[in-house]
Amino acid sequence: MAGLTQDMSPYSLYPVYPVYVVGGGPGGLAVAAALRQRGVRAVVLEKSDALGDSWRRHYDRLRLHTTRRRSSLPGLRLPRRFGRWVARDDLVRYLEKYAEAHELEVVTGVEVTRLVRVGRLWTLHATGGRLLTGRAVVVATGYNHTPHLPRWPGLESYGGELLHASDYRNPAPFAGRDVLVVGAGNTGAELAVDLARGGAARVRLAVRTPPHLVRRSTLGWPAQATAVLVRRLPVRLVDAGARVLARLSVPDLSAHGLPRPAGGLYSRARQGAIPVQDTGRTGLIRAIRSGRVEPVAAVESFDGDTVVLADGTRITPDTVIAATGYRRGLEALAGELGVLDRRGLPRTHGARTADHARGLYFTGFTTPISGTLRELGLDARRIARSIARTAPRPRRAPTATAGRTA
């Protein structure tokens, strides 16, 4: 298969092993392009049949909450015609063009299942019994990898329709139905609004921890721009500023069942709880105030066809959509290497590697308020610089010398 071979340097007796990038999403493609720019061969391994697979499977309504200008990957700008807030399908087209423009080696249909360090090299166990050898490995399989469902009591015997948000595409199948969306992150909020606007008879949003709400844009100024400016400031200072801004720009929805959140915005963001971005006319705030989306208590358990909420309320929706997040799914791949924390997240990211796992890099496993795509681009340059610094120098073959005569 193309892209899974080693090159032989014309000046060396030894093969020049490539860098393998695991994952053909934005992070993986950005790293491969940055490595190619530095003259380092990189092979992208994507388990699906097409790059950007996770983006292709997102819901139809999806648009980036980060601006086009701050979401471009290194070496190719997102086209102006995509608008300020790039749609899902446009981003997929951009990723395809990105790989083509940078002439990246992308091998699809190959899933890497395990990483093993052998001396200074890495062996990748992949589908089809393949054993691939690389001088470095960059894992870019994404933060939202494996759909997660909480272990609610009674779930196994629940008789109603239940699906994870990863299976949701558009509201058409739920027209006229009573739908409960579980989880008030950005995905849950957008699905609830999409359902309400798309003809669902009733939409309730189960909230365990009230989220911080921020306007995606205020008077033309994007929230991302503010996040970039404050990301290095003290956490307490950012929390205090965000609290004041929320009082001025976000109405109190307590009377509608969604109280203001406890804890600071930046404090919670550093723990992975990203603020929910409101898009204005098509956003969650307007949907809640109009009654089209009803916040309710968190799901506590299931009882036959009934959903039991934390406040004791019992409801019987037609459909439950669990926007309950994802797991990283790195345990099988790298769990034996001692590079993951108790949550299954890499202990190091970007250009940093663990001392006992030199040459193993991770990108895309953080949730920065400054924008994931922006940070992936910055990570890519840093990782490429680190790998290029450790590139083996070509070794010339020994030349023959004349033998001495007595």
- Considering the domain architecture, whether residues 248 and 350 belong to the same structural domain is answered as no
Domain-embedded: residue 370: yes
pLDDT(149) > 70: yes
- Considering the domain architecture, whether residues 160 and 30 belong to the same structural domain is answered as no
- Considering the domain architecture, whether residues 23 and 99 belong to the same structural domain is answered as yes
**pLDDT tens-digit profile of 340-382?**
999 899 999 999 999 999 999 999 998 888 999 999 999 999 9
Domain-embedded: residue 356: yes
Predicted confidence at residue 15, as pLDDT, reads: 60
**pLDDT tens-digit profile of 17-36?**
999 999 999 999 999 999 99
Domain-embedded: residue 230: yes
**Residue 242's CATH number:** 3.50.50.60
pTM of the predicted structure, to 2 decimals: 0.89
Predicted confidence at residue 7, as pLDDT, reads: 56
Predicted confidence at residue 144, as pLDDT, reads: 84
Q: How confident is the model at residue 295 (pLDDT cuts 50, 70, 90)?
A: very high
Domain count, the chain: 2
Predicted confidence at residue 324, as pLDDT, reads: 96
Predicted confidence at residue 5, as pLDDT, reads: 56
- Considering the domain architecture, whether residues 244 and 315 belong to the same structural domain is answered as yes
The predicted model gives 2-31 an average pLDDT of 74
pLDDT(397) > 60: no
To the nearest whole number, what is the mean pLDDT of the chain? 91
- Considering the domain architecture, whether residues 137 and 258 belong to the same structural domain is answered as no
Which range among 10-14, 33-37, 181-185, 234-238 shows the weakest confidence by mean pLDDT?
Answer: 10-14
Between 298 and 282, name the one with better pLDDT.
Answer: 298
- Considering the domain architecture, whether residues 87 and 106 belong to the same structural domain is answered as yes
Between 11 and 287, name the one with better pLDDT.
Answer: 287
Q: How confident is the model at residue 12 (pLDDT cuts 50, 70, 90)?
A: very low
- Considering the domain architecture, whether residues 319 and 362 belong to the same structural domain is answered as no
Which range among 87-96, 197-206, 368-377, 388-397 shows the weakest confidence by mean pLDDT?
Answer: 388-397
* Of 325, 349, 364, the domain-final residue: 325
- Considering the domain architecture, whether residues 176 and 133 belong to the same structural domain is answered as no
Predicted confidence at residue 4, as pLDDT, reads: 66
Percent of the chain with pLDDT over 90: 85
- Considering the domain architecture, whether residues 132 and 153 belong to the same structural domain is answered as no
Between 398 and 197, name the one with better pLDDT.
Answer: 197
Structural domain containing residue 105:
12-145+328-389
Which range among 7-21, 25-39, 301-315, 333-347 shows the weakest confidence by mean pLDDT?
Answer: 7-21
The predicted model gives 161-184 an average pLDDT of 97
- Considering the domain architecture, whether residues 28 and 103 belong to the same structural domain is answered as yes
Q: Compute the distance between CA of residue 202 and CA of residue 260 in angstroms, rounded to an integer.
A: 24
The predicted model gives 154-166 an average pLDDT of 95
- Considering the domain architecture, whether residues 318 and 334 belong to the same structural domain is answered as no
- Considering the domain architecture, whether residues 216 and 120 belong to the same structural domain is answered as no
